[in-house]
Structure 1
Amino acid sequence: MELWYTEKQTEAYGITAKIKETYVREQTDFQDLAMIETEEFGTMLILDGMVMTTVRDEFVYHEMVAHPALFTHPNPKHVLVVGGGDGGVIREILKHPSVEKAVLVDIDGKVIEYSKKYLPTIACGLEDPRVEVIVNDGYMHIHDHKNAYDVIMVDSTEPVGPAVELFSKGFYQGIYESLKEDGIFIAQTDNPWFKADLIQSVNRDVREIFPIVRVYCANIPTYPSGLWTFTMGSKKYDPLEVDETKIPEIESKYYTPRLHKAAFVLPRFVEDLCK
């Protein structure tokens, strides 16, 4: 008998993967969590029926959350990740020698626990001495830490369950206040095929708070539609003004210095959502 996992990405569309083994299925205090082994994408973390990461394609998302912002800021020392309990963004942050401290705040400790056990190549940076892991509400952490961070990265699920507040204008205002005077924030902002309204609303809210706002894209095959957007809000530095010839090469599989600016070149239909 074959077992398949299907994520319904809309009421009429989904993606499916053949399952080799189920490691964990648990209702945590915040969400339904599953860790499964798939034949095509390896180990897969699923929260509330949505694919969060897989061993095969995780590098795209994690590199593109971390590196565009960290190579735009000239000297990022203190970095916050809201969400991201699998540890992938933290792993990428640690590739930047200027970073003195990286703080991870995830509301669900079970995500962190099971990622360490079943996703060791992704969660490998969580024990690094430069990293502080906090199991708490990221929304409240932001509001309790003013003028504290050079870069803030929001590695959230889609806007359902505990992540709803992480897509609100009040949260973006809190991020602005939690950043230092030249700070940068980055958030995953879903896909333009099925969540165009979300991209428009986030872009509108962030533009009312930050003087520089840029949207960029990456290809992530296990995420809805495969085309994924990220929104950057910056107080001072424009990613399009970065001299790509001065971006050092780092260990990566997706991000490159030449891709830094190229990722901000949007398809016309995505560009239209950001006007």
Structure 2
Amino acid sequence: MDALKNGWFSEINDLWPGISQSLEVEEVLYNGHSKYQHILVLQTKSYGKALVLDGIIQCTEKDEFSYQEMISFLPLCSHPNPKTVLIVGGGDGGVAREVAKFPKIEKVYQVEIDEKVVEVSRKYLQFMATGYDHPKVELVIGDGYKFVEEHKHSFDVIITDSSDPIGPATCLFEEPYFVRMKNALKPGGIICTQAGTYWSNLDQIKRTLNHCKDTFPKVGYAISSVPTYPTGQIGYMMGSLDETINFREPKTVFTDAELDKMNMRYYSDRVHRASFELPRFVEKELDL
């Protein structure tokens, strides 16, 4: 609550030293602790409702769709026939909402360690938590790290919608987790995980990318714009068991009418291709 002063919330964290994102707050809707983290839901003046975990903005009503659509449809459209999907994290329900839209999907397992995040999201963030109401989605409250280990060769796509690499999410950015994901994939499977901003976390991105490179024969790094994330940008680490895959070229391309029917506001095949175009200094540092 020290971050709430004079009607403003400020996100201050050593992960992005020297910068801060601030939002004007109209009302504190929820303020409490789970056994894992501090949970805050704010009604902001310009970005609608906002979910904050341990002082870090996870999503806001105005711009959440960019992240949710991209972390879901980048891997789904890169896979030739995704039927079974595992989501690790994503307690707000936004990724489940997007994955369930994909026509070929038959089953979605959502594994979230913090039941309180799910409970709070269902009450205050219904625009994302609708993902839990889809008949294809099965919610499991538990440790996604262990769940992946216990389900070998089970999923076409694994999406890790984690918070940043501090606290309970730290293990999801380390090499043993990537090995576990690899073993949990079916032949030709794909993983996609939240992977920070290159403006502030390039060293962390490089370490995560190297874990991915050591585990998967083909990797990629894509980006999208999310104004309320640090520096206004977020990245997506992708890995595939198919060494012939071209992440830049989606295997599923939807018409504008199909995208409208799914209420897609950010993702398209054009955005998919463009998201892998990186500044030269990033390409050089990541050796892509």
Give TM class, smaller chain. over 0.9
Give the equivalent residue in structure 2 for 1:77: 83
Q: Write the mapping of 1:223-234 to structure 2, written as runs, cut at 5 A.
A: 223-234=229-240
Q: Write the mapping of 1:250-265 to structure 2, written as runs, cut at 5 A.
A: 250=259, 251-265=263-277
Cα deviation, 1:134-177, whole Å, max 9, x if unaligned, reads: 11011000000000100000000000110010001000000000
Residue pair 2:95, 2:131 contacting (<8 A) in 1 also? no
Quote the offset at 1:257 in angstroms.
1.4
Give the equivalent residue in structure 2 for 1:272: 284
Cα deviation, 1:68-105, whole Å, max 9, x if unaligned, reads: 11011111111011000101111111111211111110
Which sits farther off after the overlay, 8-17 or 55-64? 8-17
Quote the offset at 1:193 in angstroms.
1.3
Structure 1 unaligned spans of 5+: none
Give the equivalent residue in structure 2 for 1:64: 70
Letter in 2 for 1:149: F
Give the equivalent residue in structure 1 for 2:11: 7
Quote the offset at 1:238 in angstroms.
2.5
Letter in 1 for 2:277: V
Quote the offset at 1:12 in angstroms.
2.1
Give the equivalent residue in structure 2 for 1:48: 54
Q: TM-score, normalised by structure 1?
A: 0.96
Q: Write the mapping of 1:99-138 to structure 2, written as runs, cut at 5 A.
A: 99-138=105-144
Quote the offset at 1:11 in angstroms.
3.8
Letter in 2 for 1:28: S
Quote the offset at 1:15 in angstroms.
1.2
Residue pair 2:80, 2:251 contacting (<8 A) in 1 also? no
- Report whether the alignment pairs 1:186 with 2:192: yes
Q: Write the mapping of 1:173-252 to structure 2, written as runs, cut at 5 A.
A: 173-236=179-242, 237-242=245-250, 246-248=253-255, 249-250=258-259, 251-252=263-264
Quote the offset at 1:261 in angstroms.
1.1
* CA distance, structure 2, for counterparts of residue 25 and residue 33 of structure 1: 6
Structure 2 unaligned spans of 5+: none
Cα deviation, 1:165-194, whole Å, max 9, x if unaligned, reads: 000100000000000011000001001111
* 1:53 match: secondary structure: strand
* CA distance, structure 2, for counterparts of residue 14 and residue 125 of structure 1: 31
* CA distance, structure 2, for counterparts of residue 41 and residue 188 of structure 1: 22
Quote the offset at 1:2 in angstroms.
4.3
Give the equivalent residue in structure 2 for 1:147: 153
**By percentage of residues, which structure has more helix?**
2
Quote the offset at 1:240 in angstroms.
2.4
Quote the offset at 1:205 in angstroms.
0.9
* CA distance, structure 2, for counterparts of residue 11 and residue 93 of structure 1: 34
Residue pair 2:250, 2:269 contacting (<8 A) in 1 also? no
1:162 to 168, 171, 184: 168
After TM superposition, the runs of 4+ consecutive aligned structure 1 residues lying more than 3 A away are: 241-244, 246-249
Letter in 2 for 1:141: F
Letter in 1 for 2:12: K
Letter in 2 for 1:8: I
Residue pair 1:199, 1:273 contacting (<8 A) in 2 also? no
Quote the offset at 1:57 in angstroms.
0.3
Count matched residues: 274
Q: 1:212 to 1:223 in 2, by over 3 A?
A: same
Letter in 1 for 2:11: E
* CA distance, structure 2, for counterparts of residue 247 and residue 215 of structure 1: 22
Quote the offset at 1:269 in angstroms.
2.0
* CA distance, structure 2, for counterparts of residue 273 and residue 231 of structure 1: 15
